[in-house]
């Protein structure tokens, strides 16, 4: 009999693991299907309630590990992450979810049901926030990004940042598991817990729907984007190759200017300019801006040769801004992508521009900068209503990574204009709606012209920052403490 029970338990555990892994596989990754993550952890949570502690850890960790295999090729091939670091990524995720299920199980066995409801989201959000503080990839990997196209839910980011989104997503999974588990033994408690979780989700969706219905404020602006892949995808060498590439870009820039663009954004790292030769590059691009009467933002590598004071060559990943009738301005990328940009010198300062017609403030950032909530908040605090973002993706991650900047706009109250090689050109507003998008390889020179609001929107996240991450850490501490207290008495019939 015991053998039969063990075989059944193993079978149930395997089925729960595979079911959760499948939903994680298709609900996360490079092109996630957002509804799946609202139920992805339910099978392993239910199994954790009827298995030894090691079974709960094993099924939870293994389900996540198998589900995240959808990113193996991206890590190994596109990002060239060394195998030991890939193993570290997978192991840390598996351990985090394994421990969260172990805490969930311990609290449920003590009949601390409300604490159990918080266990999974508190563990995972605390882990996501710790990565944000310590990892060179910032918020990359947060479950919140699986919900970017679920616009009513995305508006929660304006209050809590990504942390509240991940928390509520996992809280819903936990509530379903607790409700099903208690449906016969304590139906009243089951209804209370599922009712509270469902009410929170409903309140967030009502808030998000109302926020989406509010009309945009401020003056609109026409923005143009240009990008070219193929032979133009790599960084052009200094001198003649870079000059020719900029000449090739001049025609689509001029065409967008004729169509009414006030600013045109080109991708990141198009070519190389070495001081003092940067002055010649600036003169050519400034002339383009003057002739077309349009502001032009161009991504390039600027090299400062060794001097007496600085005996080493310094290389910057830079966005240079050419405004008719004004001096050249620049922004140096702050957050580099290892190992590809490890030898570049990061910048430390924001670049703020006066909007066309004096209708507000614009900001400039580059690609990976927009993976970090902190940089977005700094621009939001400075009043930016529009972010101009040269970028460069790896083709396959044009949704997963390319669209991460959309959340920064929702969090900190600005529209985003992102023009990338190896990905897409898109414009999103401060509600996360994509107003226009085209793939960068759709034409020899892909272009996009969109009218977008440029007003700045003040948000709670902008005011209070990562307040909800601190709430998650406090709830985690409480849940761990509660797990060591005596179990509650069973309810009387």
Predicted pLDDT at 26: 98
Supply the pTM of this predicted model.
0.95
Predicted pLDDT at 228: 94
Cis peptide before 276 (omega within 30 of 0): yes
CA distance from start to end of the chain: 31
Residue 370 and residue 340 in contact, taking contact as beta carbons nearer than 8 Å: no
Predicted pLDDT at 493: 39
Predicted pLDDT at 485: 78
297/253 Cα distance (integer angstroms): 11
Each of the 493 residues of the chain gets a pLDDT tens digit; together they read: 455 557 888 889 999 999 999 999 999 999 999 999 999 999 999 999 999 999 999 999 999 999 999 999 999 998 889 999 999 999 999 999 999 999 999 999 999 999 999 999 999 999 999 999 999 999 999 999 999 999 999 999 999 999 999 999 999 999 999 999 999 999 999 999 999 999 999 999 999 999 999 988 878 999 999 999 966 578 999 999 999 999 999 999 999 999 999 999 999 999 999 999 999 999 999 999 999 999 999 999 999 988 767 678 899 999 999 999 999 999 999 999 999 999 999 999 999 999 877 778 999 999 999 999 999 999 999 999 999 999 999 999 999 999 999 999 999 999 999 999 999 999 999 999 999 999 999 999 999 999 999 989 999 999 999 999 999 999 999 999 999 877 766 554 3
Residue 59 and residue 51 in contact, taking contact as beta carbons nearer than 8 Å: yes
Residue 42 and residue 85 in contact, taking contact as beta carbons nearer than 8 Å: no
Predicted pLDDT at 8: 82
Predicted pLDDT at 234: 87
Predicted pLDDT at 9: 82
Predicted pLDDT at 491: 54
């Amino acid at each position: 009999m015991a053998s039969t029970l063990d075989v059944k338990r193993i079978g149930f555990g395997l089925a729960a693991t595979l079911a959760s892994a499948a939903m994680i596989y298709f609900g996360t990754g490079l092109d996630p299907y957002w509804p799946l993550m609202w139920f992805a952890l339910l099978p392993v949570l239910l199994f954790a309630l009827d298995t030894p502690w090691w079974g709960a850890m094993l099924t939870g960790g293994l389900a996540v590990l198998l589900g995240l295999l959808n990113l193996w090729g991206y890590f190994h091939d596109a990002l060239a992450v060394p195998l030991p670091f890939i193993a570290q990524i997978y192991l840390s995720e598996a351990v985090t979810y394994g421990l969260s299920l172990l805490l969930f199980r311990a609290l449920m066995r003590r009949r601390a049901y409300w604490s159990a409801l918080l266990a999974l989201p508190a563990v995972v959000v605390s882990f996501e926030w710790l990565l944000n503080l310590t990892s060179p990839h910032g918020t990359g990997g947060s479950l919140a990004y699986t919900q970017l196209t679920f616009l009513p839910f995305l508006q929660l980011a304006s209050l809590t940042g990504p942390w509240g989104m991940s928390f509520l997503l996992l809280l819903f999974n936990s509530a379903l598991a607790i409700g099903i588990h208690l449906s016969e033994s304590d139906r009243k408690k089951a209804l209370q817990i599922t009712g509270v979780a469902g009410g929170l989700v409903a309140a967030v969706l009502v808030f998000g729907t109302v926020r989406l219905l509010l009309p945009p404020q401020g003056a609109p602006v026409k923005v143009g984007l240009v990008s070219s892949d193929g032979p133009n995808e790599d960084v052009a060498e200094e001198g003649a190759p870079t000059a020719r590439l900029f000449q090739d870009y001049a025609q689509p820039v001029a065409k967008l200017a004729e169509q009414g663009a006030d600013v045109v954004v080109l991708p990141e790292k198009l070519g190389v300019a070495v001081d003092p030769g940067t002055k010649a590059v600036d003169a050519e691009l400034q002339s383009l801006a003057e002739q077309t009467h349009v502001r032009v933002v161009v991504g390039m590598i600027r090299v400062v040769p060794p001097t007496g004071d600085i005996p080493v060559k310094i290389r910057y990943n830079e966005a240079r801004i050419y405004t008719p009738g004004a001096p050249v301005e620049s922004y140096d990328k702050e957050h580099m992508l290892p190992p590809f940009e490890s030898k570049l010198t990061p910048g430390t300062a924001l670049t703020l521009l006066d909007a066309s017609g004096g209708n507000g403030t614009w900001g400039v950032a580059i690609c990976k900068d927009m993976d970090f909530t902190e940089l977005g908040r700094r621009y939001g605090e400075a009043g930016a209503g529009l972010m101009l973002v040269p970028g460069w993706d790896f083709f396959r991650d044009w949704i997963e990574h390319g669209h991460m900047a959309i959340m920064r706009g929702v969090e900190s109250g600005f529209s985003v204009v992102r023009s990338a090689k190896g990905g897409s050109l898109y414009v999103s507003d401060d509600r996360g709606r994509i107003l226009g998008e085209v793939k960068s390889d759709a034409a020899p020179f892909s272009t996009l012209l969109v009218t977008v609001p440029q007003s700045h929107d003040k948000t709670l996240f902008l005011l209070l920052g990562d307040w909800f991450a601190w709430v998650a850490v406090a709830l985690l501490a409480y849940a761990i403490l509660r797990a060591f207290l005596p179990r509650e008495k069973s309810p009387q019939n």
